Amino acid sequence: MTHPFHPLSGLELEFIERRQCWRGDRVYYFDEVGGRSRIPAEWTSVAPVDAFVVAAGGVCPFRTQDLVELAALIDRLRGVGEIAP
């Protein structure tokens, strides 16, 4: 696990398979009780290193596209429950 903020960060997981599904590229592994779990491939060493992450050198934790998507999500959530005029 290479994602710096994931609770399993730094652990070596028992790989089952890599699969492209409707939610994106996923890595399947055996969890601590022997069950099957999945995580995004980019959180593991299976996927190539993101060029932005390398160039940022740990100084910039967010890519512009990530922030744009977060802002859009916040806008949608703020609109939930509002009554249109």
- Tell me the per-residue pLDDT of 48-81, one tens digit each, with 9 for 90 and over: 777 887 788 778 878 888 888 888 889 889 886 5
The contacts found for 69-77 with CB under 8 angstroms, 24 or more apart, are none
Q: Where are the domains positioned within the chain?
A: 14-79
Is the entire prediction scored with pTM above 0.85? no
User: Measured between alpha carbons, how far is 28 from 45 in angstroms, rounded to an integer?
Assistant: 13
- Average pLDDT value for residue range 19-42: 89
